[in-house]
């Protein structure tokens, strides 16, 4: 981790526990994490996040950053994960609800974000979510960017959902704080 070598760490990186961008301002090295920023900007293109019920699938670093970013934008986050212990820990750290991924069919959500690697090349035929879970009008974002059109996004399109691919998040990460 680069964090011990930095002069400052912004609030987002401190809460997330990871830095992916370092800015040098007049010799002061400041660490930040732009994953949440990228996700929020990509989601905000499709509508407001404030007050929306957002399912974040996964419990790794991307899920942590996205969950934090969505909460900061006023979204109500629920973490869904296959591994119960990891999912509970992340939800506890973020101060939000956890539900095992096996129970996602009962979820009432308006936005869903896949923050796992399920569907990434070379396993692009897989989706982290059941086809039937996706509802018309739901916003579905996949953090996976290879392939751009994942199985999850193909399913979302077939079900009448708004889709956001991982490239949008990646592009908006580059436009984070500098």
- Shared domain for 59 and 119, answered yes or no, is yes
* Any domain includes 173: no
* Any domain includes 175: no
* Any domain includes 104: yes
Q: Check whether 56 has a pLDDT greater than 70.
A: yes
Q: Taking residues 26-49, what's their average pLDDT?
A: 96
pLDDT band at 178 (very low <50, low <70, confident <90, very high): very low
Q: Check whether 54 has a pLDDT greater than 60.
A: yes
pLDDT band at 1 (very low <50, low <70, confident <90, very high): confident
- Shared domain for 82 and 138, answered yes or no, is yes
* Any domain includes 143: yes
Give how many domains the chain has, as a whole number. Answer: 2
* Any domain includes 176: no
- Average pLDDT in the chain: 95
- Shared domain for 7 and 91, answered yes or no, is no
- Shared domain for 84 and 116, answered yes or no, is yes
pLDDT tens for each residue of 80-138: 999 999 999 999 999 999 999 999 999 999 999 999 999 999 999 999 999 999 999 99
- Shared domain for 17 and 69, answered yes or no, is no
Indicate which CATH number applies to the domain containing 94.
3.40.50.720
- Give pLDDT, residue 40: 97
Q: Check whether 176 has a pLDDT greater than 90.
A: no
- Shared domain for 51 and 129, answered yes or no, is yes
- Shared domain for 92 and 156, answered yes or no, is yes
- Shared domain for 16 and 85, answered yes or no, is no
- Shared domain for 28 and 93, answered yes or no, is no
- Shared domain for 19 and 39, answered yes or no, is no
- Shared domain for 57 and 85, answered yes or no, is yes
- Give pLDDT, residue 174: 80
- Shared domain for 68 and 115, answered yes or no, is yes
The residue segments making up the domain with residue 25 are 3-32
Q: Taking residues 14-25, what's their average pLDDT?
A: 93
- How much is the pTM? 0.93
Q: Check whether 59 has a pLDDT greater than 70.
A: yes
| DSSP character string of the chain | --GGG-SEE-HHHHHHT---EEEEETTEEEEE--HHHHHHHHHHTTS--TT-EEEEE--SHHHHHHHHHHHHTT-EEEEEESSHHHHHHHHHHHT-EEEEGGGGGG---SEEEE-SSTT-TT-TT--SS-GGG--TT-EEEE---SSSS-HHHHHHHHTT-EEE-HHHHHHHHHTS--
């Amino acid at each position: 981790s680069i964090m011990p070598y930095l002069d400052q760490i912004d609030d987002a990186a401190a809460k997330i526990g990871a830095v992916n961008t370092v800015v040098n301002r007049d010799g002061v090295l400041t660490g930040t994490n732009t994953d949440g920023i990228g996700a929020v900007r990509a989601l905000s293109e499709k509508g407001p996040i404030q007050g929306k019920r957002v399912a974040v699938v996964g419990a790794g670093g991307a899920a942590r950053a996205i969950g934090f970013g969505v909460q900061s934008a006023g979204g109500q986050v629920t973490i869904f994960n296959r591994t119960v212990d990891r999912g509970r820990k992340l939800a506890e750290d973020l101060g939000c609800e956890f539900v095992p991924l096996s129970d996602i069919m009962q979820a009432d959500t308006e936005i869903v974000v896949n923050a796992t690697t399920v569907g990434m090349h070379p396993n692009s035929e897989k989706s982290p979510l059941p086809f039937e879970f996706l509802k018309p009008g739901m916003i579905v974002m996949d953090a996976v960017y290879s392939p751009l059109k994942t199985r999850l996004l193909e399913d979302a399109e077939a079900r009448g959902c708004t889709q956001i691919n991982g490239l949008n998040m990646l592009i908006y990460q580059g436009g984070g704080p500098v």
